[in-house]
Copies of this chain bind each other. A is one copy, B any other.
């Protein structure tokens, strides 16, 4: 079914209000979920609401807590999310980073005691909206098997990077793993086999059955005890010969800049104890390096040249961000798509809290 994104927003804001978040925090949380759904990244949209609800119920998330600055220098800040949602702390931290970048040219933040923060691209765009270049990273549940290993250990670890361009920014936003778990759920819903080297089993054989893959990932991500084995492969696929150790390297870089620097849980340890995630945010002022309009025009010209290269028959060349901004335009017009399972969860939460559901359009 499809609903109008503004109706989705109203529903979410009301839910977050009833759950005890401040008005400002609830609006932010709603915006990150609506934004993800509008951009076609529904794995990080309203379908996460039921999980958030459970974490509030079990005390992992405390909606009334506010993020705190642990310490800061002119270029760096450490933020304690104070056991509230990652969105609230990351938004707060990126605002601090933006201030710093405007003062000394560059800023970085590490967020600790945090949790899921929605799509990483949201915070890169926060920097873009302030005229800056932005990067956002987070660790995740353990889903990814390192090169040659047969057990999940690394997070799918998101990396987002935004750079000004026309008609829309360059927006690279996704898991450092070969694919995000959401792609497997999608294949399952469509009843199709997994088409690539996405998931391996405990013997490091490629899995094509989406149900088997989902079971492997669910076990890796959520069981404290003995692992079933297997998980997502790193970018580069199953075989070392195709340089999947580079994908592993990218993933470890994110682990170091999040869980390790924050002295929080690394992805492998988010299955037990605090269930905390950590984030890293980075922004700098491109105006320091040159006239912003010139830099934007130069980046745009490069992207147009890439889109115009000779292509393989029947294939289109696109630049990161192209699909996301196309979905954004379409979904603003036609509404966002919500699957049946998610709508059932929304219905249960609506009944529990007395919140009216968005109408189908």
Contacts and interface: CB of A to CB of B under 8 A. Distances in A.
Interface of A: 71, 73-76, 78, 100-101, 103-108, 110, 133, 145-151, 153-154, 161, 163, 170, 172, 174, 176, 178-179, 195-197, 203-204, 229, 235-237, 239-243, 245-250, 252-253, 255-256, 260-263, 266, 268, 284-286, 288-290, 294-295, 298-299, 302, 305-306, 309-312, 315-320
Given A76-B284, A311-B150, A243 B298 contact: no
Nearest to A295: B260
> Number of copies of this chain in the oligomer?
2
Contact of A261 (B237, B247, B289): B289
A66 to B, nearest CB: 21
Given A76-B284, A261-B286, 18 more contacts: A74-B74, A74-B104, A75-B100, A106-B106, A106-B107, A147-B317, A148-B312, A149-B310, A172-B249, A172-B250, A178-B236, A196-B239, A196-B241, A196-B242, A252-B319, A252-B320, A260-B302, A263-B289
A310 B235 contact: no
B195 A256 contact: no
13 contacts: A74-B105, A75-B107, A76-B105, A148-B311, A148-B312, A161-B253, A179-B243, A196-B242, A196-B243, A197-B242, A245-B320, A261-B286, A261-B295
Query: Which 9 pairs, one residue from A and one from B, show the smallest C-beta to C-beta distance?
Result: A76-B105, A75-B104, A73-B105, A148-B315, A196-B241, A172-B249, A74-B104, A75-B106, A149-B309
A147 B108 CA distance: 31
A326 to B, nearest CB: 15
